[in-house]
Amino acid sequence: QDLSLPNGTPVDTSSPASSSSLLNRLQLDDDLDGETRDLFVTVDDPKKHVCTMETYITYRVTTKTTRAEFDLPEYSVRRRYQDFDWLRNKLEESQPTHLIPPLPEKFVVKGVVDRFSEEFVETRRKALDKFLKRITDHPVLSFNEHFNVFLTAKDLNAYKKQGMALLSKMGESVKYVTGGYKLRSRPLEFAAIGEYLDTFSLKLGTIDRIAQRIIKEQLEYLVELREYGPVYSTWGGLEVELSEPLEGMSACVGNCCTALEELSEDMTEDFLPVLREYILYSESMKNVLKKRDQVQAEYEAKLEAVALKKEDRPKVPTDIEKCQDRVECFNADLKADMERWQNNKRQDFRQLLMGMADKNIQYYEKVCGTA
Partner 1 sequence: MEDCLAKKMEITVSEAEKRTGRNAVNMQETYTAYLIETRAVESQSEGQCAPVDSLWRRYSEFELLRNYLAVTYPHIVVPPLPEKRADFVWHKLSADNMDPDFVERRRIGLENFLLRVASHPVLCQDKIFYSFLTQEGGWKEMVNETGFQLKADSRLKALNATFRVKNPDKRFTELKHYSDELQSVISHLLRVRARVADRLYGVYKVHGNYGRVFSEWSAIEKEMGDGLQSAGHHMDVYAASIDDILEEEEHYADQLKEYLFYAEALRAVCRKHELMQYDLEMAAQDLTSKKQQCEELATGTVRTFSLKGMTSKLFGQETPEQREAKIKVLEEQIQEGEEQLKTKNLEGRDFVKSAWADIERFKEQKNHDLKEALISYAVMQISMCKKGIQVWTNAKECFSKM
Residues that bind partner 1 (CB under 8 A): 196, 199-200, 203, 206-207, 210, 213-214, 217-218, 220-221, 223-225, 227-228, 231-232, 234-235, 238-239, 241-242, 245-246, 248-249, 252, 346, 349-350, 353-354, 357-358, 360-361, 363-365, 367-368, 371
For the bound state, the minimum distance from the C-beta of residue 266 to partner 1, rounded and expressed in Å, comes to: 14
Task: Tell me how long the chain is.
Answer: 371
DSSP 269: I
For the bound state, the minimum distance from the C-beta of residue 3 to partner 1, rounded and expressed in Å, comes to: 25
Q: For residue 17, which amino acid is it?
A: A
Q: Among residues 237 and 317, whose Cβ is nearest to partner 1?
A: 237
For the bound state, the minimum distance from the C-beta of residue 306 to partner 1, rounded and expressed in Å, comes to: 40
Least Cα distance to 125 among 79, 66, 190, 169 occurs for: 79
Tell me if 341 sits within 8 A of 285, measured CB to CB. Answer: yes
Dist CA 364 CA 341 (whole Å): 34
For the bound state, the minimum distance from the C-beta of residue 137 to partner 1, rounded and expressed in Å, comes to: 19
Tell me if 78 sits within 8 A of 61, measured CB to CB. Answer: yes
Q: Among residues 1 and 234, whose Cβ is nearest to partner 1?
A: 234
Dist CA 274 CA 19 (whole Å): 36
DSSP 154: S
Q: Among residues 246 and 279, whose Cβ is nearest to partner 1?
A: 246
Q: Among residues 150 and 232, whose Cβ is nearest to partner 1?
A: 232
Q: Among residues 23 and 240, whose Cβ is nearest to partner 1?
A: 240
Tell me how crowded residue 174 is: count the other CB atoms within 10 A of its CB: 15
The string of DSSP codes covering 59-122 is EEEEEEE--TTSSSSEEEEEEEHHHHHHHHHHHHHH-TTSPPPPPPPSS-SSTTS-TTSHHHHH
Q: Among residues 84 and 232, whose Cβ is nearest to partner 1?
A: 232
For the bound state, the minimum distance from the C-beta of residue 323 to partner 1, rounded and expressed in Å, comes to: 33
Q: Among residues 204 and 295, whose Cβ is nearest to partner 1?
A: 204
Q: Among residues 104 and 236, whose Cβ is nearest to partner 1?
A: 236
Which residues have CB under 8 Å from 111's CB, separation 6+?
none
Handedness of CA 75, 80, 84, 86 (dihedral sign): negative
Dist CA 267 CA 273 (whole Å): 9
For the bound state, the minimum distance from the C-beta of residue 271 to partner 1, rounded and expressed in Å, comes to: 12
For the bound state, the minimum distance from the C-beta of residue 229 to partner 1, rounded and expressed in Å, comes to: 9
For the bound state, the minimum distance from the C-beta of residue 216 to partner 1, rounded and expressed in Å, comes to: 9
